Chain A
Amino acid sequence: MGDGEGHRGVALLLGAVALLAAVVGARSTSLANDATDLWQSSVRTEVKRSAGALEDVRYVYQVELPVAVVVMGGRLKADELGTAAAGASGDVAATLAMETEIEKGVVTAIEGSAPLVTDPAYALPGGGVDLGQRLADERAENPDLATLDPDALAAEGDHLAGKGSSMTIALLPLGFAALFGAMAQPFWRRRRLLLGLATGAMGTGLAIALMVEALG
Protein backbone atom coordinates (compact mmCIF):
# COMPACT_ATOMS: atom_id res chain seq x y z
CA MET A 1 0.00 0.00 0.00
CA GLY A 2 1.55 3.36 -1.07
CA ASP A 3 1.83 6.19 1.45
CA GLY A 4 -0.71 8.44 -0.29
CA GLU A 5 -3.09 5.54 -0.73
CA GLY A 6 -2.68 4.68 2.98
CA HIS A 7 -3.50 8.25 4.03
CA ARG A 8 -6.59 8.21 1.82
CA GLY A 9 -7.63 4.86 3.29
CA VAL A 10 -7.36 6.14 6.85
CA ALA A 11 -9.26 9.32 6.02
CA LEU A 12 -12.03 7.42 4.22
CA LEU A 13 -12.36 4.92 7.02
CA LEU A 14 -12.51 7.54 9.77
CA GLY A 15 -15.06 9.51 7.74
CA ALA A 16 -17.19 6.40 7.26
CA VAL A 17 -17.00 5.57 10.98
CA ALA A 18 -18.01 9.11 11.92
CA LEU A 19 -20.91 9.04 9.45
CA LEU A 20 -22.11 5.66 10.66
CA ALA A 21 -21.86 6.75 14.31
CA ALA A 22 -23.94 9.83 13.50
CA VAL A 23 -26.60 7.73 11.75
CA VAL A 24 -26.73 5.23 14.62
CA GLY A 25 -26.94 8.05 17.17
CA ALA A 26 -29.71 9.78 15.26
CA ARG A 27 -31.72 6.56 14.85
CA SER A 28 -31.41 5.58 18.51
CA THR A 29 -32.39 9.10 19.57
CA SER A 30 -35.42 8.93 17.31
CA LEU A 31 -36.44 5.57 18.80
CA ALA A 32 -35.92 6.85 22.34
CA ASN A 33 -38.03 9.88 21.52
CA ASP A 34 -40.87 7.70 20.20
CA ALA A 35 -40.62 5.48 23.29
CA THR A 36 -40.81 8.49 25.60
CA ASP A 37 -43.86 9.80 23.73
CA LEU A 38 -45.63 6.47 24.18
CA TRP A 39 -44.71 6.31 27.87
CA GLN A 40 -46.03 9.80 28.46
CA SER A 41 -49.20 8.84 26.60
CA SER A 42 -49.55 5.86 28.91
CA VAL A 43 -49.50 8.22 31.92
CA ARG A 44 -52.11 10.47 30.36
CA THR A 45 -54.22 7.44 29.48
CA GLU A 46 -53.86 6.02 32.99
CA VAL A 47 -55.08 9.30 34.49
CA LYS A 48 -57.95 9.49 31.99
CA ARG A 49 -58.96 5.89 32.64
CA SER A 50 -58.90 6.26 36.41
CA ALA A 51 -60.78 9.57 36.26
CA GLY A 52 -63.50 7.96 34.15
CA ALA A 53 -63.80 4.98 36.47
CA LEU A 54 -63.82 7.17 39.58
CA GLU A 55 -66.59 9.33 38.18
CA ASP A 56 -68.72 6.27 37.41
CA VAL A 57 -68.07 4.80 40.87
CA ARG A 58 -68.92 8.14 42.47
CA TYR A 59 -72.17 8.41 40.48
CA VAL A 60 -73.40 4.91 41.30
CA TYR A 61 -72.37 4.86 44.96
CA GLN A 62 -72.90 8.47 45.97
CA VAL A 63 -75.80 9.56 43.76
CA GLU A 64 -77.82 6.45 42.97
CA LEU A 65 -77.29 4.15 45.95
CA PRO A 66 -78.47 6.52 48.73
CA VAL A 67 -81.74 7.21 46.88
CA ALA A 68 -82.13 3.50 46.17
CA VAL A 69 -81.78 2.68 49.86
CA VAL A 70 -84.48 5.24 50.73
CA VAL A 71 -86.82 3.68 48.15
CA MET A 72 -86.00 0.15 49.32
CA GLY A 73 -86.67 1.21 52.91
CA GLY A 74 -89.93 2.92 51.95
CA ARG A 75 -91.15 -0.14 50.06
CA LEU A 76 -90.30 -2.47 52.93
CA LYS A 77 -91.95 -0.18 55.46
CA ALA A 78 -95.05 0.03 53.29
CA ASP A 79 -95.04 -3.75 52.98
CA GLU A 80 -94.66 -4.36 56.73
CA LEU A 81 -97.26 -1.69 57.57
CA GLY A 82 -99.70 -3.15 55.03
CA THR A 83 -99.22 -6.65 56.37
CA ALA A 84 -99.75 -5.41 59.93
CA ALA A 85 -102.83 -3.42 58.88
CA ALA A 86 -104.37 -6.53 57.31
CA GLY A 87 -104.10 -8.37 60.60
CA ALA A 88 -105.33 -5.49 62.78
CA SER A 89 -108.63 -3.81 63.41
CA GLY A 90 -110.10 -0.52 64.53
CA ASP A 91 -107.82 2.49 65.15
CA VAL A 92 -104.72 0.38 64.85
CA ALA A 93 -105.70 -0.88 61.38
CA ALA A 94 -106.66 2.63 60.27
CA THR A 95 -103.39 4.14 61.44
CA LEU A 96 -101.36 1.36 59.86
CA ALA A 97 -103.27 1.76 56.59
CA MET A 98 -102.68 5.51 56.66
CA GLU A 99 -98.96 5.05 57.32
CA THR A 100 -98.85 2.52 54.50
CA GLU A 101 -100.28 5.06 52.07
CA ILE A 102 -97.84 7.71 53.27
CA GLU A 103 -94.87 5.41 52.69
CA LYS A 104 -96.20 4.41 49.27
CA GLY A 105 -96.57 8.08 48.42
CA VAL A 106 -93.00 8.81 49.40
CA VAL A 107 -91.77 5.86 47.33
CA THR A 108 -93.81 6.93 44.31
CA ALA A 109 -92.47 10.47 44.59
CA ILE A 110 -88.79 9.55 44.54
CA GLU A 111 -88.48 6.21 42.74
CA GLY A 112 -88.64 7.96 39.37
CA SER A 113 -85.17 9.29 40.04
CA ALA A 114 -83.84 5.91 41.18
CA PRO A 115 -83.32 3.66 38.13
CA LEU A 116 -81.33 1.32 40.35
CA VAL A 117 -84.52 0.16 42.06
CA THR A 118 -87.00 0.55 39.20
CA ASP A 119 -85.10 -1.36 36.54
CA PRO A 120 -85.80 -5.10 37.01
CA ALA A 121 -82.39 -5.89 35.52
CA TYR A 122 -80.82 -4.90 38.84
CA ALA A 123 -83.34 -6.54 41.20
CA LEU A 124 -82.05 -9.28 43.50
CA PRO A 125 -84.18 -12.00 45.17
CA GLY A 126 -83.68 -10.62 48.71
CA GLY A 127 -84.89 -7.11 47.76
CA GLY A 128 -81.44 -5.71 47.12
CA VAL A 129 -79.98 -4.40 43.88
CA ASP A 130 -77.02 -5.57 41.78
CA LEU A 131 -74.35 -2.88 42.04
CA GLY A 132 -71.85 -4.86 39.95
CA GLN A 133 -74.30 -4.97 37.05
CA ARG A 134 -75.29 -1.31 37.49
CA LEU A 135 -71.68 -0.08 37.57
CA ALA A 136 -70.84 -2.23 34.54
CA ASP A 137 -73.77 -0.67 32.64
CA GLU A 138 -72.71 2.81 33.70
CA ARG A 139 -69.16 2.12 32.50
CA ALA A 140 -70.49 0.76 29.20
CA GLU A 141 -72.17 4.09 28.51
CA ASN A 142 -68.70 5.53 27.80
CA PRO A 143 -66.91 2.70 25.99
CA ASP A 144 -64.08 5.01 24.90
CA LEU A 145 -63.14 5.51 28.53
CA ALA A 146 -63.76 1.94 29.61
CA THR A 147 -61.54 0.42 26.93
CA LEU A 148 -58.51 2.65 27.48
CA ASP A 149 -55.36 0.54 27.76
CA PRO A 150 -52.32 2.38 29.14
CA ASP A 151 -50.48 -0.92 29.59
CA ALA A 152 -50.46 -1.50 25.82
CA LEU A 153 -48.99 1.96 25.21
CA ALA A 154 -46.32 1.39 27.87
CA ALA A 155 -45.46 -2.01 26.38
CA GLU A 156 -45.11 -0.47 22.92
CA GLY A 157 -42.86 2.22 24.44
CA ASP A 158 -40.79 -0.46 26.16
CA HIS A 159 -40.32 -2.21 22.83
CA LEU A 160 -39.07 0.96 21.10
CA ALA A 161 -36.87 1.87 24.08
CA GLY A 162 -35.28 -1.59 23.99
CA LYS A 163 -34.63 -1.18 20.29
CA GLY A 164 -33.12 2.29 20.80
CA SER A 165 -30.92 1.06 23.65
CA SER A 166 -29.70 -1.92 21.64
CA MET A 167 -28.97 0.37 18.71
CA THR A 168 -26.50 2.39 20.80
CA ILE A 169 -24.45 -0.78 21.43
CA ALA A 170 -23.29 -0.39 17.84
CA LEU A 171 -21.41 2.75 18.93
CA LEU A 172 -18.93 0.68 20.95
CA PRO A 173 -17.35 -1.20 18.00
CA LEU A 174 -17.47 2.06 16.06
CA GLY A 175 -15.37 3.64 18.84
CA PHE A 176 -12.83 0.88 18.43
CA ALA A 177 -12.93 1.39 14.66
CA ALA A 178 -12.01 5.03 15.29
CA LEU A 179 -9.17 3.96 17.61
CA PHE A 180 -7.67 1.54 15.08
CA GLY A 181 -8.22 4.00 12.24
CA ALA A 182 -6.48 6.81 14.12
CA MET A 183 -3.59 4.52 15.05
CA ALA A 184 -3.18 3.40 11.44
CA GLN A 185 -1.78 6.81 10.52
CA PRO A 186 1.31 6.99 12.80
CA PHE A 187 1.81 3.24 13.16
CA TRP A 188 2.44 2.98 9.41
CA ARG A 189 4.28 -0.34 9.67
CA ARG A 190 1.11 -1.94 11.02
CA ARG A 191 -1.23 0.16 8.90
CA ARG A 192 -2.65 -2.74 6.94
CA LEU A 193 -3.44 -4.70 10.08
CA LEU A 194 -4.91 -1.68 11.88
CA LEU A 195 -7.04 -0.72 8.89
CA GLY A 196 -8.25 -4.29 8.74
CA LEU A 197 -9.17 -4.23 12.42
CA ALA A 198 -10.86 -0.86 11.99
CA THR A 199 -12.86 -2.14 9.03
CA GLY A 200 -13.84 -5.23 10.99
CA ALA A 201 -14.96 -3.14 13.96
CA MET A 202 -16.92 -0.84 11.68
CA GLY A 203 -18.54 -3.84 10.02
CA THR A 204 -19.48 -5.21 13.44
CA GLY A 205 -21.07 -1.89 14.40
CA LEU A 206 -22.95 -1.76 11.11
CA ALA A 207 -24.11 -5.36 11.53
CA ILE A 208 -25.37 -4.68 15.06
CA ALA A 209 -27.25 -1.59 13.88
CA LEU A 210 -28.83 -3.42 10.93
CA MET A 211 -29.78 -6.44 13.04
CA VAL A 212 -31.40 -4.27 15.68
CA GLU A 213 -33.27 -2.33 13.02
CA ALA A 214 -34.47 -5.47 11.25
CA LEU A 215 -35.21 -7.71 14.24
CA GLY A 216 -35.87 -5.26 17.06
Chain B
Amino acid sequence: MIEPEVASRWRSQAAYDRIAAVLIGVIAILAAVFAVQQAHEGLAGTRAQVEGARLAADAAARIGASSTSFAAGLRAQQDALVVGITGTSRQIEALTAGHEPALAVGAAHVAASQRLAGAVAETLATTGGEPLDGYTAGLVNATNEEIVVIVEEQNRQVDLSIAAGEHQLVAVLGLSLVALAGVLAGIAAVLGRGKAGWLLLAIAWIVALVAAVPAVNWLV
Protein backbone atom coordinates (compact mmCIF):
# COMPACT_ATOMS: atom_id res chain seq x y z
CA MET B 1 0.00 0.00 0.00
CA ILE B 2 1.44 3.41 -0.99
CA GLU B 3 1.17 6.21 1.49
CA PRO B 4 -1.09 9.09 0.26
CA GLU B 5 1.78 11.61 0.64
CA VAL B 6 4.10 9.46 -1.48
CA ALA B 7 1.39 8.97 -4.09
CA SER B 8 0.84 12.73 -4.26
CA ARG B 9 4.59 13.30 -4.73
CA TRP B 10 4.69 10.78 -7.56
CA ARG B 11 1.72 12.40 -9.27
CA SER B 12 3.37 15.80 -8.98
CA GLN B 13 6.64 14.41 -10.39
CA ALA B 14 4.78 12.76 -13.24
CA ALA B 15 2.98 16.02 -14.11
CA TYR B 16 6.29 17.88 -14.02
CA ASP B 17 7.93 15.34 -16.34
CA ARG B 18 4.99 15.43 -18.74
CA ILE B 19 4.91 19.21 -18.95
CA ALA B 20 8.67 19.27 -19.54
CA ALA B 21 8.47 16.53 -22.17
CA VAL B 22 5.71 18.27 -24.10
CA LEU B 23 7.69 21.51 -23.92
CA ILE B 24 10.74 19.79 -25.42
CA GLY B 25 8.58 18.40 -28.20
CA VAL B 26 7.03 21.79 -28.90
CA ILE B 27 10.51 23.33 -28.98
CA ALA B 28 11.57 20.70 -31.53
CA ILE B 29 8.58 21.51 -33.75
CA LEU B 30 9.14 25.27 -33.47
CA ALA B 31 12.83 24.82 -34.29
CA ALA B 32 11.84 22.83 -37.38
CA VAL B 33 9.35 25.50 -38.49
CA PHE B 34 11.88 28.29 -38.03
CA ALA B 35 14.55 26.29 -39.85
CA VAL B 36 12.19 25.81 -42.79
CA GLN B 37 11.20 29.50 -42.72
CA GLN B 38 14.81 30.60 -42.54
CA ALA B 39 15.78 28.37 -45.47
CA HIS B 40 12.81 29.44 -47.63
CA GLU B 41 13.09 33.15 -46.93
CA GLY B 42 16.86 33.08 -47.23
CA LEU B 43 16.67 31.55 -50.69
CA ALA B 44 13.81 33.81 -51.76
CA GLY B 45 15.73 36.88 -50.60
CA THR B 46 18.92 35.86 -52.37
CA ARG B 47 17.00 35.03 -55.54
CA ALA B 48 15.27 38.41 -55.56
CA GLN B 49 18.54 40.19 -54.86
CA VAL B 50 20.24 38.36 -57.72
CA GLU B 51 17.34 39.04 -60.08
CA GLY B 52 17.44 42.70 -59.08
CA ALA B 53 21.15 42.87 -59.82
CA ARG B 54 20.68 41.19 -63.19
CA LEU B 55 17.84 43.49 -64.14
CA ALA B 56 19.88 46.51 -63.12
CA ALA B 57 22.71 45.32 -65.36
CA ASP B 58 20.25 44.62 -68.16
CA ALA B 59 18.61 48.04 -67.88
CA ALA B 60 22.02 49.74 -67.87
CA ALA B 61 23.08 47.75 -70.94
CA ARG B 62 19.88 48.61 -72.80
CA ILE B 63 20.21 52.28 -71.95
CA GLY B 64 23.86 52.26 -73.03
CA ALA B 65 23.40 50.34 -76.26
CA SER B 66 20.20 52.04 -77.43
CA SER B 67 21.48 55.53 -76.66
CA THR B 68 24.78 54.76 -78.39
CA SER B 69 23.07 53.58 -81.57
CA PHE B 70 20.51 56.39 -81.41
CA ALA B 71 23.15 59.08 -80.92
CA ALA B 72 25.30 57.65 -83.70
CA GLY B 73 22.31 57.62 -86.04
CA LEU B 74 21.47 61.19 -85.17
CA ARG B 75 25.04 62.25 -85.81
CA ALA B 76 25.06 60.49 -89.19
CA GLN B 77 21.88 62.34 -90.18
CA GLN B 78 23.46 65.61 -89.05
CA ASP B 79 26.57 64.81 -91.13
CA ALA B 80 24.34 64.42 -94.17
CA LEU B 81 22.68 67.74 -93.42
CA VAL B 82 26.06 69.44 -92.98
CA VAL B 83 27.03 68.41 -96.53
CA GLY B 84 23.85 70.07 -97.80
CA ILE B 85 24.33 73.17 -95.65
CA THR B 86 27.90 73.50 -96.92
CA GLY B 87 26.66 73.20 -100.49
CA THR B 88 23.95 75.81 -99.94
CA SER B 89 26.48 78.15 -98.32
CA ARG B 90 28.75 77.82 -101.33
CA GLN B 91 25.83 78.54 -103.62
CA ILE B 92 24.87 81.68 -101.65
CA GLU B 93 28.48 82.84 -101.64
CA ALA B 94 28.80 82.11 -105.38
CA LEU B 95 25.63 84.04 -106.18
CA THR B 96 26.90 87.04 -104.23
CA ALA B 97 30.28 86.88 -105.93
CA GLY B 98 28.84 85.91 -109.31
CA HIS B 99 31.16 82.86 -109.38
CA GLU B 100 29.55 80.27 -111.64
CA PRO B 101 31.92 77.30 -110.94
CA ALA B 102 31.32 77.61 -107.16
CA LEU B 103 27.60 77.68 -107.82
CA ALA B 104 27.87 74.36 -109.67
CA VAL B 105 30.00 72.82 -106.90
CA GLY B 106 27.45 73.95 -104.29
CA ALA B 107 24.62 72.41 -106.31
CA ALA B 108 26.53 69.11 -106.55
CA HIS B 109 27.05 69.10 -102.78
CA VAL B 110 23.33 69.72 -102.17
CA ALA B 111 22.45 66.82 -104.47
CA ALA B 112 25.02 64.62 -102.73
CA SER B 113 23.56 65.61 -99.35
CA GLN B 114 20.10 64.43 -100.38
CA ARG B 115 21.49 61.08 -101.58
CA LEU B 116 23.58 60.77 -98.43
CA ALA B 117 20.50 61.37 -96.25
CA GLY B 118 18.80 58.52 -98.10
CA ALA B 119 21.81 56.23 -97.67
CA VAL B 120 22.01 57.08 -93.97
CA ALA B 121 18.30 56.34 -93.54
CA GLU B 122 18.80 53.01 -95.35
CA THR B 123 21.76 52.28 -93.06
CA LEU B 124 19.96 53.14 -89.83
CA ALA B 125 16.99 51.02 -90.81
CA THR B 126 19.24 47.97 -90.43
CA THR B 127 20.02 48.74 -86.77
CA GLY B 128 19.31 45.65 -84.67
CA GLY B 129 18.15 43.76 -87.76
CA GLU B 130 18.97 40.30 -89.08
CA PRO B 131 21.22 38.37 -88.62
CA LEU B 132 21.98 39.96 -85.26
CA ASP B 133 21.30 37.73 -82.24
CA GLY B 134 18.17 38.45 -80.23
CA TYR B 135 19.97 39.64 -77.12
CA THR B 136 22.08 42.29 -78.88
CA ALA B 137 19.14 43.31 -81.05
CA GLY B 138 17.10 43.79 -77.89
CA LEU B 139 19.79 46.07 -76.47
CA VAL B 140 20.14 48.38 -79.49
CA ASN B 141 16.40 48.45 -80.19
CA ALA B 142 15.37 49.00 -76.55
CA THR B 143 12.67 51.60 -76.12
CA ASN B 144 12.10 53.84 -73.13
CA GLU B 145 8.89 51.96 -72.35
CA GLU B 146 10.74 48.64 -72.23
CA ILE B 147 13.43 50.09 -69.99
CA VAL B 148 10.81 51.54 -67.63
CA VAL B 149 9.19 48.09 -67.32
CA ILE B 150 12.58 46.53 -66.50
CA VAL B 151 13.35 49.20 -63.90
CA GLU B 152 9.94 48.73 -62.28
CA GLU B 153 10.50 44.97 -62.12
CA GLN B 154 13.99 45.59 -60.72
CA ASN B 155 12.48 47.76 -57.96
CA ARG B 156 9.90 45.06 -57.22
CA GLN B 157 12.65 42.46 -56.86
CA VAL B 158 14.52 44.72 -54.44
CA ASP B 159 11.31 45.11 -52.39
CA LEU B 160 10.87 41.33 -52.39
CA SER B 161 14.45 40.90 -51.23
CA ILE B 162 13.90 43.38 -48.38
CA ALA B 163 10.67 41.64 -47.34
CA ALA B 164 12.36 38.23 -47.40
CA GLY B 165 15.21 39.64 -45.30
CA GLU B 166 12.71 40.83 -42.70
CA HIS B 167 11.04 37.40 -42.61
CA GLN B 168 14.45 35.83 -42.23
CA LEU B 169 15.19 38.07 -39.26
CA VAL B 170 11.92 36.95 -37.68
CA ALA B 171 13.00 33.34 -38.18
CA VAL B 172 16.36 34.00 -36.54
CA LEU B 173 14.61 35.76 -33.65
CA GLY B 174 12.25 32.79 -33.35
CA LEU B 175 15.17 30.36 -33.32
CA SER B 176 16.85 32.43 -30.62
CA LEU B 177 13.72 32.32 -28.46
CA VAL B 178 13.39 28.60 -29.05
CA ALA B 179 17.01 28.11 -28.01
CA LEU B 180 16.34 30.15 -24.87
CA ALA B 181 13.27 28.07 -24.09
CA GLY B 182 15.34 24.92 -24.63
CA VAL B 183 18.03 26.07 -22.24
CA LEU B 184 15.45 27.03 -19.60
CA ALA B 185 13.75 23.65 -20.00
CA GLY B 186 17.13 21.93 -19.62
CA ILE B 187 17.91 23.84 -16.41
CA ALA B 188 14.42 23.11 -15.11
CA ALA B 189 15.00 19.41 -15.75
CA VAL B 190 18.27 19.56 -13.83
CA LEU B 191 16.70 21.44 -10.92
CA GLY B 192 13.80 19.03 -10.74
CA ARG B 193 10.36 19.46 -9.27
CA GLY B 194 11.06 22.29 -6.84
CA LYS B 195 9.87 25.86 -6.73
CA ALA B 196 12.72 27.01 -8.98
CA GLY B 197 12.14 24.13 -11.39
CA TRP B 198 8.46 24.94 -11.81
CA LEU B 199 9.25 28.65 -12.24
CA LEU B 200 11.84 27.98 -14.95
CA LEU B 201 9.52 25.54 -16.66
CA ALA B 202 6.77 28.15 -16.70
CA ILE B 203 9.11 30.80 -18.11
CA ALA B 204 10.32 28.34 -20.76
CA TRP B 205 6.72 27.68 -21.78
CA ILE B 206 6.00 31.41 -22.02
CA VAL B 207 9.10 31.96 -24.18
CA ALA B 208 8.11 29.01 -26.40
CA LEU B 209 4.58 30.35 -26.78
CA VAL B 210 5.90 33.81 -27.71
CA ALA B 211 8.11 32.15 -30.33
CA ALA B 212 5.12 30.19 -31.60
CA VAL B 213 3.27 33.37 -32.65
CA PRO B 214 5.52 34.28 -35.64
CA ALA B 215 5.90 30.59 -36.52
CA VAL B 216 2.13 30.14 -36.78
CA ASN B 217 1.83 33.46 -38.63
CA TRP B 218 4.33 32.34 -41.21
CA LEU B 219 2.70 28.94 -41.66
CA VAL B 220 -0.76 30.49 -42.02
Residue numbers of A with Cβ under 8 A of B are 21, 25, 28-29, 32, 35-36, 39-40, 42-43, 46-47, 49-51, 53-54, 56-58, 61-62, 65-66, 68-70, 72-73, 76-77, 79-81, 83-84, 88, 91-92, 94-96, 99, 124-133, 135-136, 139, 146, 150, 154, 157-158, 161, 164-165, 168-169, 171-172, 174-176, 178-183, 185-187
A185 x B25 contact (CB < 8 A): no
Q: Does B12 contact A (CB under 8 A)?
A: no
Q: Are B135 and A178 in contact (CB under 8 A)?
A: no
Least CB separation from A76: chain B residue:
B112
| Residues of B contacting A183 in the complex (Cβ-Cβ under 8 angstroms) | 18, 21-22, 25
Neighbour of A133 across the interface among B22, B32, B126, CB < 8 A: B126
- Given A72-B119, A77-B109, A46:B58 Cβ within 8 A: yes
Write out the residue numbers on chain B whose beta carbons fall within 8 Å of the beta carbon of A136. Answer: 131-133, 136
Q: Across the interface, name the chain A residue whose C-beta is closest to B64.
A: A54
Other A-B pairs beyond A69-B79, A127-B119, 13, CB < 8 Å: A36-B46, A39-B46, A50-B60, A53-B61, A58-B68, A70-B79, A130-B126, A132-B128, A139-B132, A164-B43, A165-B40, A175-B31, A179-B28
- Whether B188 is near chain A, meaning CB under 8 Å from some CB there, is no
Query: How far, in angstroms, from A157 to B21 measured CA to CA in the complex?
Result: 41
> When A and B form their complex, what is the total count of cross-chain residue pairs whose Cβ atoms lie within 8 Å?
243
CB atoms of B39 and A96 under 8 A apart: no
Contact of B104 among A47, A92, A135 (CB under 8 A): A92
Among candidates B17, B108, B120, B136, residue contacting A135 with C-beta atoms closer than 8 Å: B136
Q: B4 within 8 Å of A by Cβ?
A: no
22 A-B residue pairings within 8 Å (CB atoms): A46-B54, A50-B57, A53-B61, A54-B61, A54-B65, A57-B64, A57-B140, A66-B76, A69-B79, A76-B112, A92-B101, A124-B123, A127-B115, A127-B122, A129-B126, A131-B123, A132-B127, A139-B132, A161-B43, A171-B35, A172-B36, A176-B25
